[in-house]
A and B are shown apart, each in its own frame.
Chain A
């Protein structure tokens, strides 16, 4: 078994999702090489070298990789992919963009969003918005896998892997990044937060969404999430969306406020340790997964909760 983990980063910082992908490598039972492909990204390689379970960090540094496009990253990964039995990538927007490209170019299946390793060829993954779990076995020589971060603990620090520079691709391909609009927030990142306060259409407006949720999140040291309806209505930015087609989260505490609990939303949060729901409709499906349900008008209950905490 030889495992390659593809690091997610922005040329400066290693994304925490990478340590969760290494958690899946640990479940497979072997140390992994980590590919850091980018430009001016030695600092990222140094961060990766400190993680547990890393055999070597392979640093590919080239202007052609600066934009971190799927085309360039896949081309870089292909240079070394055949040396490995498993290629693990975080199941994030970054990983989902690039992993299928690598798999197709290797003519192998890609296994999406694994939540469990059974053995070197066999994995469990959710289907139908997590309403079923499929155990799948791959017969391909290289397994290209995306790893659901909430299902594998991040490896810790304490490693000291060597960093080896490998030959980087010279051509970036035709795709250029011409703009980035990064959601700025001093709050914890959604997929790593211990507490999440999440708002839905019940908040009624962007103003109320912020007016009610920000102070509560401040008190709890929480990240803020949202339902699709809240994002569609412009109450919150797109990367706040929790669910089947948004982010998958599993905090210690998830507080769902004015969210009905559609299966697509539950798919993203039902593995949270403790779920609280505040909704004025006693029939709302969110109460079926909530550990603590409060039937109340959120416009009264949320300020009261914030004040009493």
Chain B
């Protein structure tokens, strides 16, 4: 079974982002970019399924600018076998990405897609579900445990009330939650090896997908700042403030 893992290039989770003064967006020039953390978890899970003999090949796919190649290299350094770049300078929204991934799925015929639950830049939490819908496949989102046995998936999901376990047939789409696994670090030899692994480059036009954004971003602003608070010197003072000043207890 082949596993397809969509990996997004995003501003690194440690970067404190800045809103552009003209309100046109977030400043991404000269900031550190990384693979979306949930996608690292997805790559890790796919590699583990390959190591367990369940999967035969792990293919990483990234959609976006030419630099997404770095994200694909990072996935291959972790252990993905090859990469596919769907290259475009157009701003991609989740529906467009889902359509591109659908086209790639139709070409590659994987038995399973493992995506991240959420990209930490747009915080959309949509693409995996949209892809499943477009393919007419079942989905298991927010996975914290994945078991594959005889063409069947058993997935434990993190939901608001606790945990839910689903059984679904393959092919299917899974999206990862934080507790699914702890992604490995790429070793130096594997980073070197990844440089020789193949990356195929496609375009939305070649895949016949219209990626025109559906949502227009009118402006991006900083959220209102909280006003600075005070430090209290003791538990007694804290209680006094909460009672008499804030009046919340």
Contact = CB atoms under 8 A, between A and B. Distances in A.
Q: Are A and B a genuine interacting pair, yes or no? A: yes
Interface of A: 10, 69-71, 74, 92-94, 96-105, 107-113, 122, 126-140, 173-183, 195, 220, 228, 231-232, 237-239, 244-245, 247, 252-253, 263-264, 270, 273-276, 287-296, 301, 304-305, 308-309
Interface string B136-158: 00111110100000000010111
A301 B235 contact: yes
B77 to A, nearest CB: 24
21 contacts: A71-B139, A100-B129, A104-B133, A110-B130, A128-B11, A135-B217, A136-B215, A138-B215, A174-B169, A175-B139, A175-B167, A177-B166, A179-B165, A180-B165, A220-B249, A228-B178, A239-B162, A275-B226, A288-B228, A289-B226, A289-B229
Given A93-B158, A109-B93, A293-B232, A103 B120 contact: no
B214 interface: yes
A170 B21 CA distance: 54
Nearest to A74: B133
B107 interface: no
Nearest to B215: A136
B29 interface: no
A179 B164 contact: yes
Chain B interface, DSSP helix/strand/loop, else mixed: mixed
B17 A293 contact: no
B215 A111 contact: yes
B161 A137 contact: no
A183 B125 contact: no
Contacts of B163: 179-181, 238
A104 B179 CA distance: 27
B236 interface: yes
B185 interface: no
Interface of B: 11, 13, 16-17, 19, 26, 38, 93-95, 98, 117-118, 120-134, 138-142, 144, 154, 156-169, 177-179, 214-223, 226, 228-232, 234-236, 238-239, 241-242, 246, 248-249
Contacts, number: 249
Q: Report the 5 A-B pairs with minimum CB-CB distance, sorted nearest first.
A: A179-B165, A100-B129, A109-B214, A104-B130, A100-B126
Contacts of A180: 161-165
A182 B160 CA distance: 9
Contact of B144 (A96, A179, A238, A301): A238
B230 A291 contact: yes
Given A178-B154, A180-B165, A247-B160, A292 B238 contact: yes
Given A99-B129, A136-B216, A305-B235, 19 more contacts: A74-B133, A92-B160, A104-B129, A109-B214, A110-B124, A112-B124, A127-B26, A127-B220, A128-B123, A137-B216, A174-B138, A177-B164, A178-B166, A195-B249, A238-B162, A239-B158, A290-B229, A305-B238, A308-B239
